[in-house]
Amino acid sequence: MSPPTKSNVWDYFEPNKEDQDKADCKICKKSYSRKGRTTSSLKNHLKSMHSEEFSTFENISKENKLQRMKSDASKFHHL
């Protein structure tokens, strides 16, 4: 299995410089909690406040997952 990769949600956010448990939305410039240091709240913000960008995010995420699955299957097939 491949190691976890950086979430594409970071295309829409940047880490908050003063508080490592927060991230700043590049679209609306508001700061959002990353409680537990996960990206779930960031994804939820995109979904509820920036639906067009969320749709793009989902499509890119699905494409990346398919690529990883193909790559993993190829590695397994060669064993």
Q: What average pLDDT values come out for the chain (79 residues) when binned by 10 residues? A: 66 93 95 86 95 94 89 71
pLDDT at 70: 86
Q: What is the CA radius of gyration of the chain?
A: 15
pLDDT at 3: 41
CA 21, CA 41: separation in Å to the nearest integer? Answer: 11
pLDDT at 2: 38
The structure tokens listed for 46 are 């995109």
